[in-house]
Amino acid sequence: VLTSFGRALRITERAARRLDPVPAVVALDVTVDADLAALTDRLRALGWDRVDGVLHAIAFAPPAALGGGFLSTGWPDVAVALQVSTWSFVALTRALLPLLGRGSAVVGLDFDASRAWPSYDWMGVAKAGLESACRYLAREVGPRGVRANLVAAGPLSTVAATSVPGFAALAERWGERAPLGWDTRDAEPVARACVALLSDWFPATTGTVVYVDGGARAVG
Amino acid sequence: VVDRAEVMTVLGQQAEELLDLKADQLREELSFKTDLDVDSLALVEFTMAVEDAFAIDLPEDEVVDLVSIGAFVDLILAKTALASPA
């Protein structure tokens, strides 16, 4: 099952039609409480009584929150970034709790928030919050046997990345630093890590970040 | 083999359907982004429709940064040439 909303919905539906079998696309805006509240019923209506894995691939920051205006970004822009990129990880999981059970797993997408990157600005703050939220979420859902983890990827050349100023320079340095090298066009290593964390091959891992970055974080 | 005029015809059809533009607004020297006010989200959907039309795979992130519609046509022609048997 894929989710999407607003103008992106048609893009998601187009992408879904290229998959085999074609997955259902459910409209979900994580900033709308009614959408979150209706989610389990929508999934049940599609025949899903249990969810084994959830991939949270949701982030957004208004242009004013990225690209070098860190000191001047106002709260309304920062609030949007935190609501969509940090809080929604917990909100989505909470919305799905009735369908999650022992062995279920939630995975979110992260970018190493242990340091301050050029121009990533409030998105970086949101990712730091995401890492903390993941730890608290793990604490909450652990007793139900549900795991919550993040995958921190190196820079990938996505359409979203084209709106991050300074992305090209960052991506170039990444490739030089990473012991394994880094291909910004190959999302497969990141996808594999997500699948692995959602699977039962990480049964005792929760509240942590797995780095899929070519090893860049490990070296100075 | 697909030629330039054919590509422009398909781009025109898809632009009318998806981008709220008229086919004759597409000129090779113009940029979707700066001249025709097409944002990245609209351009992604448009690009996917063009991929389906020609049965090719285009790198969306590159398309978003292309300077002109002419460059987009070049990219499509290069991909269709690769896709069709010599």
Q: Which chain A residue has its CA at the smallest distance from B63's CA?
A: A159
b vs e for B8-27, b when ≥16 Cβ sit within 10 Å of the residue's Cβ? bebbbebbeebbebeeeebe
From residue A71, alpha-carbon distances to A65, A66, A122 in Å are: 10, 11, 10
Shortest distance between the Cα of A162 and any Cα of chain B, in A, equals 7
Mutate which: B39, B45, B63, B67, vs A, most A CBs within 10 A: B45
B85 has a pLDDT exceeding 70: no
Q: Which of B47, B73, B17, B48 is nearest to A13 (CA)?
A: B48
Name the nearest CA neighbour of B14 among B62, B55, B48: B48
Calpha distance B37→B34 (Å, rounded):
6
A124-140 tens-digit pLDDT: 999 999 999 999 999 99
Cβ of residue B56 closer than 8 Å to a chain A Cβ: no
Among A63, A61, A68, smallest CA distance to A82 is for A61
Q: What is the pLDDT of residues A188-215, one digit of tens each?
A: 999 999 999 999 999 999 999 999 999 9
ipTM, 2 decimals? 0.82
pTM of the predicted structure, to 2 decimals:
0.91
CA distance B2 to chain A (A): 23
For range B11-33, the mean pLDDT: 94
pLDDT tens figures, A101-123: 999 999 999 999 999 999 999 99
Closest-CA distance of chain B to residue A157, Å: 6
- Confidence bin at A164 (pLDDT 50/70/90): confident
Torsion from C-alpha of A176, A109, A24, A84, nearest 10 degrees:
-130
pLDDT at res. A26: 97
Chain B CB within 8 Å of residue A157 CB? yes
Q: Which of A65, A67, A127, A155 is catalytic?
A: A127
